């Protein structure tokens, strides 16, 4: 009886090992486009390392600097054309 149980366990382990080997080969990652991450051209630098050459900046630095610049331009234009008027404080005369 015990030998049948051991034999059945061995057979189940063998079958599961074979089936998992075949299944894992289906799910292995294929590295077909692995070369796409290689840099082509000059390396990109941080915007503060070469502030006068936006073409050499990293893409995310270019986006941040561009959006900040547009924000400042729009806010400055708004303040300029709205007259920059805030609430005027009237000086109270003390008696």
Higher pLDDT, 54 or 42: 54
Q: Which residues is 45 bridged to in the sheet?
A: 57
Cα–Cα dist 34/21, whole Å: 24
**Residue 62 CB neighbours (<10 A):** 15
Q: Which residues is 57 bridged to in the sheet?
A: 45
- What pTM, to 2 d.p., does this model score? 0.46
- In this predicted structure, the answer to whether residue 50 has a pLDDT above a threshold of 70 is yes
Phi-psi region of 30 (alpha: psi -120 to 50; beta: other; left: phi over 0): beta
Average pLDDT, the chain: 78
pLDDT digits (tens, 9 = 90+) for 14-42: 766 665 555 666 666 666 665 556 667 78
Cα–Cα dist 42/50, whole Å: 13
Give the pLDDT of residue 94.
Answer: 62
Cα–Cα dist 65/56, whole Å: 13
């Amino acid at each position: 009886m015990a030998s049948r149980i051991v034999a059945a366990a061995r057979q189940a382990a063998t079958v599961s090992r074979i089936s998992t080997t075949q299944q894992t080969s289906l799910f292995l990652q294929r590295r077909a486009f692995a070369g796409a991450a290689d840099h082509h051209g000059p390396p990109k630098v941080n915007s503060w390392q070469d502030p006068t050459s936006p073409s050499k900046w990293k893409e995310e630095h270019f986006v941040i600097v561009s959006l900040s610049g547009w924000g400042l331009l729009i806010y400055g234009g708004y303040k300029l054309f709205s007259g920059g008027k805030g609430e005027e404080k009237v000086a109270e005369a003390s008696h």
